[in-house]
Amino acid sequence: METILGLDLPTWWFLVVGGLFSGYAILDGFDLGAGALHLFFNKEESRRIVLNAVGPVWDGNEVWIVIGGGALFAGFPLVYASVFSAFYIPFMLFLVMLIFRAISIEFRSKEPMRWWRQLWDINYCISSIMIAFLLGLVLGNVIQGIPIDQNGDFTGNWLSFVNPYACIVAVTTVALFMMHGAIYLTMKTENRLYAKLTVLVKNTTIFFVICYAVTTVATLLYATHLSEDFKQHPQLFSIPLVAIISVANITRQITKRKYRFAFISSSVTVSLLLILIAIGLYPNIVISTVSPAYNLTVYKAASSAKSLKIMLLFAVIGVPLVATYTTFVFWTFRGKVKLDEHSY
């Protein structure tokens, strides 16, 4: 099989897909977290400020999951078909929540009535929490494995997705995004709202650390296959060690009120947690709970070598362009939020 820099094409595409989903989790993670915290702010001005903190970037952040889904379809069509068929109900709920969240942001400021704004505030908060929860629920089931047969067809019941381990991962995802969002908002606010957020940052960080510890123990108990590669290659244990250091650095930077560095650390933590899962799964992408012979590996599920090579070229050109656009938007809207007549 043709290789580039020592890695074969399916593995390269596995890295591309993983990188895109990691970018989505970091970018949309903080605005989902900000949405999950929305009802903690009681004053109308505070809610407008936190809404406008994510206003210029939230829709651009969601582009990353669209590209990630497209990359998954292009590189691993069998995985795309199996996963989206298996998680049909969760993904439909996910799309409904995405729509509710988007219209909540856009509709809220269209009318001045108090009941109208409260209605969209509640919708915005609930949909943000549900999106994060559903993402974690899918991730938890992917880690555990799902019942697929030799053709990659789902043979289980969608209600089985709501199992204890997947729910723990889902709650941890919500906690991680809430912490990530709270840290982001401290960089965009000032005065009394900033003071309130410094308290929220501490509380959400404690919440995440507790969830992180519980999820780690649950993973060691219920997803033992995830540690096989680490046992065979002890040098890989450096990655979970770096992840623990990264989490510790978040609390350290928050204590010193250096929120920019805390945000970098929380972004690194999001990425490292996904890398740990990717290492544990590889070369599998989807694990079958029916039989290990039915696992969908990067080799079994990949497109042809010619297709992967052409698409990899597009990815090398396209991903940096999207990253540049994202950087430009963040640079343009840097600094503290100031409300004006064009604000939400």
Peptide bond into 10 cis (omega under 30): no
Phi, psi of 145 (to 5 degrees): 110, 155
Q: Is the pLDDT of residue 317 over 80?
A: yes
Distance CA 192, CA 258 (A): 18
DSSP 87: T
Q: What is the mean pLDDT of residues 90-114?
A: 93
Q: Is the pLDDT of residue 1 over 80?
A: no
Residue 266, classed as helix, strand or coil, is: helix
Mean pLDDT, the chain, whole residue set? 92
Distance CA 72, CA 20 (A): 10
Residue 339, classed as helix, strand or coil, is: coil
Task: Please tell me the predicted confidence (pLDDT) of residue 281.
Answer: 93
How does pLDDT run across 76-100, given as a tens digit for each residue?
999 999 998 889 999 999 999 999 9
Q: What is the mean pLDDT of residues 53-58?
A: 92
Reported pTM: 0.94
Q: What is the mean pLDDT of residues 135-160?
A: 90
Q: Is the pLDDT of residue 101 over 80?
A: yes
What length does the chain have?
344
Got the DSSP string for 46-59? Answer: HHHHHHHHHTTTHH
Q: What is the mean pLDDT of residues 320-334?
A: 91
Task: Please tell me the predicted confidence (pLDDT) of residue 23.
Answer: 94
Q: Is the pLDDT of residue 159 over 90?
A: no
pLDDT above 90 coverage of the chain, percent: 77
Q: What is the mean pLDDT of residues 209-235?
A: 90
Task: Please tell me the predicted confidence (pLDDT) of residue 260.
Answer: 94
Q: What is the mean pLDDT of residues 258-269?
A: 96
Task: Please tell me the predicted confidence (pLDDT) of residue 224.
Answer: 87
Which contacts of 55-59 are long-range, i.e. CB under 8 A and separated by 24 or more positions?
55/105, 55/343, 55/344, 56/329, 56/332, 56/333, 57/27, 57/31, 57/326, 57/329, 57/330, 57/333, 58/28, 58/31, 58/105, 59/102
Got the DSSP string for 127-185? Answer: HHHHHHHHHHHHHHHHHH-B-B-TTS-B-S-GGGGS-HHHHHHHHHHHHHHHHHHHHHH
How does pLDDT run across 10-30, given as a tens digit for each residue?
999 999 999 999 999 999 999
Distance CA 154, CA 296 (A): 12
Task: Please tell me the predicted confidence (pLDDT) of residue 192.
Answer: 92
Which residues neighbour 157 within 8 Å (Cβ) at sequence distance 6 or greater? none
Q: What letter represents residue 106's amino acid?
A: E
pLDDT above 70 coverage of the chain, percent: 100
Q: Tally the C-alpha atoms within 13 A of residue 236's C-alpha that lie toward its C-beta.
A: 15
Q: Is the pLDDT of residue 64 over 80?
A: yes
Task: Please tell me the predicted confidence (pLDDT) of residue 338.
Answer: 87
